[in-house]
Amino acid sequence: MTETRRPTRVALDADEALELDRLARMVDERGRALDEARTALAEAAGRIAARYDRGGPAAVAARVGWSRQHVSTLAAAHRRGTTADDVEAA
């Protein structure tokens, strides 16, 4: 049986570690901001589409590039008082 050697892990210098830490924090922060923006867009799409009896979901879907069915689901959730996060989780 042969023994497999694991590669040695190098120690990063302080500047490299700080740069990676800073960029990782930036990714986390921007990811949270993106999630918040997506939620706000979904809630607005549902609210606006729910204002119209017919054609609302299709108009909203065309504007934001989503399927009419998805926007119809968001509009129905808005009418029920369900949040966009609840719809996405379902």
Q: What is the pLDDT of residues 5-32, one digit of tens each?
A: 777 888 999 999 999 999 999 999 999 9
Average pLDDT over residues 30-38: 98
Secondary structure of residue 82 in the 3-state scheme: coil
Provide the whole-model pTM. Answer: 0.71
pLDDT band for 89, please (50, 70, 90 cuts). low
Q: Would you say residue 1 has pLDDT above 80?
A: no
Domain boundaries, given as residue ranges, for the chain: 14-89
Under 8 Å between Cβ of 74 and 48? no
Residues 44, 60, 29, 81, CA torsion sign: positive
